[in-house]
Amino acid sequence: MIRVVVAEDHYLVREGVVRLLEAQAEIEVAGVCADLEGLYTAVEQHRPDVVLTDIRMPPTGTDEGVRAADELRTRHPQVGVVVLSQFVEPGYALALLEHGAAGRAYLLKERVSDVEELLRAIREVASGGSVIDSQVVEVLVEARSRRRDSPLDGLTPREGEVLAEMAQGRNNAGVATALGLSERAVEKHINSVFSKLGLSEEPDVHHRVKAVILYLADQTS
């Protein structure tokens, strides 16, 4: 049984999602809330496995869902987060995965009507996996297809393995442990990946995120 907290400020949407989830044998709706503070309170009270949240809620109606996902990574790292958005905007996905992809999913709200797609995302984040909406990935793939060659084609097999581990949300130490390498060797491989993907001039905070997004796009294509 997967315990889920639903965070959505629009009453009709919230009720629809709750009823949809309650009809699923593998899901228990542990709590419901309508704003960011309510989300934090519900997580503290109900200790869910997954939070299903709108990207925009009070108090500001901007990026509360993404901020909640980031905060919960510190407060409750075992809690998976599925963010629902109306926007096919890779920038939101980048922000969501800024500190790691593990246990995070970004779906368009229209996917709520596709029960299996929604359940797949919930299952994935509950087990530490990640999901990026196919439409968002398509935007990235389309952008890549306008170039003659994929920058990922230039990675060595080892660099590809390192990038795959990064896509699992692992830091340098975690990658080193998973692949049996020293942290210094991992750092060298990662710097080479950044260089080959043309990310060396990007701000540091975006290096890993954009590399992971390119990797996920490549896997989907």
> Which pTM does this prediction carry?
0.68
The range of the structural domain enclosing residue 41 comes to: 2-135
The predicted structure's pLDDT at residue 149: 59
CA–CA separation, 106 and 133 (whole Å): 6
196 within some domain:
yes
At 53, phi and psi to the nearest 5?
A: -130, 145
140 within some domain:
no
- Does one domain contain both 131 and 156? no
The CATH number covering residue 17 comes to 3.40.50.2300
* Tens-binned pLDDT, residue by residue, of the chain (221 aa): 999 999 999 999 999 999 999 999 999 999 999 999 999 999 999 999 999 999 999 999 889 999 999 999 999 999 999 999 987 777 788 788 778 888 999 999 888 888 999 999 999 999 998 888 878 777 766 655 555 556 677 888 899 899 888 887 788 999 999 999 999 999 999 989 888 887 765 555 456 777 777 777 666 55
- Does one domain contain both 131 and 167? no
Coil, helix or strand at residue 186: helix
Examine the fold and report which residue of 135, 163, 182 is the final residue of a domain before the chain moves on. 135
142 within some domain:
no
- Does one domain contain both 100 and 192? no
- Does one domain contain both 35 and 95? yes
Q: Where are the beta strands (DSSP E) in 19-103?
A: 27-33, 50-54, 80-85
